[in-house]
Every structure is written in structure tokens, then in C-alpha cells.
């Protein structure tokens, strides 16, 4: 750890790195459905999967950024 940086600077750097990580889009491999167990309801549409990934990732990023950290 760089002892010349303040706690505030370290926290800001951490938050920036997390925002950058969570800003990346998730790209599923083309054959991801081969790994999913079969269901009685059938496969979900690609649109549904994209919506869930987008919403889930956005909510996760927001939750991580605005959840108080225990130190």
C-alpha cells in the first residue's frame, strides 16, 4: 500500500476501479445454453437473457457503490 496516499484517495481509487469493472458488458459464450440444465418451460429468449444481465449488473454495481463498507 502506498503510505503517501490518504484513506480518502485510496477509497476513491477503489470505487473508480469497481465502477470501471462493473461498466464492462458481460458477453456470454455462444454455447452457454449447452451448460444450462433442461427445463420443462423451455429456453428463455435471447432478449430476456440480455435484459436480465443488463439489469442485474446495473443493480449490482449500484448496490456495491452505495452500500456502506465495514472497515
Q: Encode pLDDT of 20-54 as tens digits.
A: 887 777 777 788 778 878 888 888 788 887 787 77
Q: How far apart are CA 24 and CA 20, in angstroms?
A: 7
Cell matching residue 33: 445454453
Per 3-state DSSP, what percentage of the chain is helix, strand, and coil (rounded to 5)? 60, 0, 40
Task: Quote the percentage of the chain above a pLDDT of 70.
Answer: 73
- pLDDT for position 54: 72
- pLDDT for position 70: 56
Q: How far apart are CA 62 and CA 42, in angstroms?
A: 32
Amino acid at each position: 500500500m502506498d503510505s503517501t496516499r490518504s484513506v480518502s484517495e485510496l477509497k476513491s481509487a477503489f470505487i473508480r476501479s469497481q465502477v470501471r469493472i462493473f461498466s464492462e458488458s458481460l458477453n456470454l459464450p455462444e454455447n452457454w445454453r449447452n451448460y444450462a440444465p433442461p427445463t420443462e418451460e423451455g429456453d428463455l429468449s435471447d432478449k430476456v437473457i440480455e435484459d436480465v444481465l443488463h439489469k442485474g449488473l446495473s443493480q449490482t454495481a449500484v448496490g456495491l457503490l452505495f452500500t456502506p463498507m465495514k472497515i
